[in-house]
A and B are shown apart, each in its own frame.
Chain A
């Protein structure tokens, strides 16, 4: 059977490797007899490779904060969130959130669950509620704990640098808790954007490769009295609490009970540190 005439479209599809095997053979037979066309297609392949090489670096550039926020639908709404006046004065500054849990935790967890579920449609901004801390923490957990190549920006082998760098960026002393007694080792951390400034994420891993993240974010309207709360964000369980202007969240795809033990350990160390 005589193959149908080779079209210009065939030639481009040849360059882009989009032909069936049979058609590819037709084009190759044609090119063997038309060296000028073959040379032209070779030039097209070269220019395609050159375009790819020319812009390759962009893929490895760190993602700017404002783009991360825009992509997650978390770009700060115009106008600052109003903050209750009583939070900023008169109240005792530091309350151990880890120990508030006993009574309020169950209730807080229950309410938090309803209040902080993502809205079923549209309106990403509205779904954020007042803080959206557990959702942001779970999202960051999902994105980075799944990254096999680069789960952390700075590894735990450079712990001093990590602590110094994150402390400087967050404007407070940051001490990642030790969770070795619970079977989790610190593997490193990274800085992320948040609606109220930079956020630190510490990544831990157990012997089976299960990852856990601690998310530490400066919060407008942090409420130390709310105690430790629980939120289920899709496949990720989150315990979170506020302490001294920061919101903390411990996220992992593990059961509620073991996660609670880890969150308690983290909370106690952070508040005594």
Chain B
């Protein structure tokens, strides 16, 4: 195919190409299927509305993830106001351990849900998108040092969650 010129067609095609990755990330982030797709849809709608904020030489994927991040933060803020007594850790996730005891955590989804949303975002961008740390910093609008400290704490917390309990099947199979 010839080189694409920066037209609406080209942008559309580039955005369509990003759908599967945005869906995967959203699913991992919010847990629930329909809510995740809603977040993806909102992301595209906002992206089209603010298309001029995208630098033509920039990475469209990172720009879209940044938009999704902002929408997700807004969402959580709204939910936080509605249910201010809930803790930070995974309040909007349906995948949660059914027992109160951490030893009962059996799968990775449940373990991820126990990380803070901030830690989870970074863990997912690193693992799913293989995004460089400085690009994550730009995407999330935080310093690279903060990316590193959240990654460090998130990884350690997940390690402890996974090793304390029964060795989770998901981790074993994935090797």
**Interface size, A (range):** 35 or more
Please indicate which of the listed interface residues B7, B12, B51, B151 has the most CB atoms of chain A within 10 Å of its own CB: B12
Q: Once the chains bind, are A50 and B19 in contact (CB under 8 Å)?
A: no
A122 CB contact (under 8 Å) in B17, B20, B37, B52: B52
What are 18 A-B pairs at a CB distance below 8 A?
A8-B148, A12-B155, A13-B133, A40-B159, A48-B127, A53-B173, A54-B109, A54-B174, A55-B27, A59-B20, A59-B24, A61-B23, A70-B45, A71-B12, A73-B8, A135-B9, A145-B1, A253-B1
Flag B4-19 by CB within 8 Å of A: 1 or 0 each: 1101111111011111
In the complex, chain B residues whose CB is within 8 Å of the CB of A67? 19, 23, 37, 40-41, 44
Q: Once the chains bind, are B28 and A253 in contact (CB under 8 Å)?
A: no
Name A62-116 residues within 8 Å CB distance of B: 63-64, 66-68, 70-75
Q: Once the chains bind, are B152 and A253 in contact (CB under 8 Å)?
A: no
Contacts A70-B45, A124-B8; is A59 near B21 (CB within 8 Å)? Answer: yes
Q: Once the chains bind, are B9 and A138 in contact (CB under 8 Å)?
A: yes
In the complex, chain A residues whose CB is within 8 Å of the CB of B13? 139, 142-143
B137 on interface, CB distance cutoff 8 Å: no
B91 on interface, CB distance cutoff 8 Å: no
Interface residues of chain B, those whose CB is within 8 Å of chain A, are 1-2, 4-5, 7-13, 15-21, 23-24, 27-28, 37, 40-41, 44-45, 48, 51-52, 108-109, 112, 123-124, 126-128, 130, 132-133, 148, 151-152, 155-156, 158-159, 162-163, 170-171, 173-175
Q: Once the chains bind, are A47 and B15 in contact (CB under 8 Å)?
A: no
Minimal beta-carbon separation of A171 from chain B (angstroms): 25
In the complex, chain A residues whose CB is within 8 Å of the CB of B12? 71-74, 124, 139
Q: Once the chains bind, are A142 and B9 in contact (CB under 8 Å)?
A: yes
Q: Once the chains bind, are B155 and A47 in contact (CB under 8 Å)?
A: yes
Minimal beta-carbon separation of A112 from chain B (angstroms): 16
- Measured in the bound complex, the distance between the Cα atoms of B126 and A81 in whole Å is 44
Minimal beta-carbon separation of B132 from chain A (angstroms): 7
Q: Once the chains bind, are B128 and A8 in contact (CB under 8 Å)?
A: no
Contacts A67-B40, A122-B51, A124-B48; is A55 near B174 (CB within 8 Å)? Answer: no
Q: Once the chains bind, are B174 and A50 in contact (CB under 8 Å)?
A: yes
Q: Once the chains bind, are B8 and A118 in contact (CB under 8 Å)?
A: yes
- Measured in the bound complex, the distance between the Cα atoms of B173 and A138 in whole Å is 43
Please indicate which of the listed interface residues B124, B126, B156 has the most CB atoms of chain A within 10 Å of its own CB: B126
Closest to A142 in B: B13
A6 on interface, CB distance cutoff 8 Å: no
In the complex, chain B residues whose CB is within 8 Å of the CB of A61? 20, 23
Q: Once the chains bind, are A58 and B23 in contact (CB under 8 Å)?
A: yes
- Measured in the bound complex, the distance between the Cα atoms of B152 and A18 in whole Å is 15
A208 on interface, CB distance cutoff 8 Å: no
Closest to A52 in B: B127
- Measured in the bound complex, the distance between the Cα atoms of B117 and A66 in whole Å is 27
- Measured in the bound complex, the distance between the Cα atoms of B2 and A139 in whole Å is 14
- Measured in the bound complex, the distance between the Cα atoms of B171 and A253 in whole Å is 47
Contacts A12-B151, A52-B128, A70-B44; is A253 near B2 (CB within 8 Å)? Answer: yes
A22 on interface, CB distance cutoff 8 Å: no
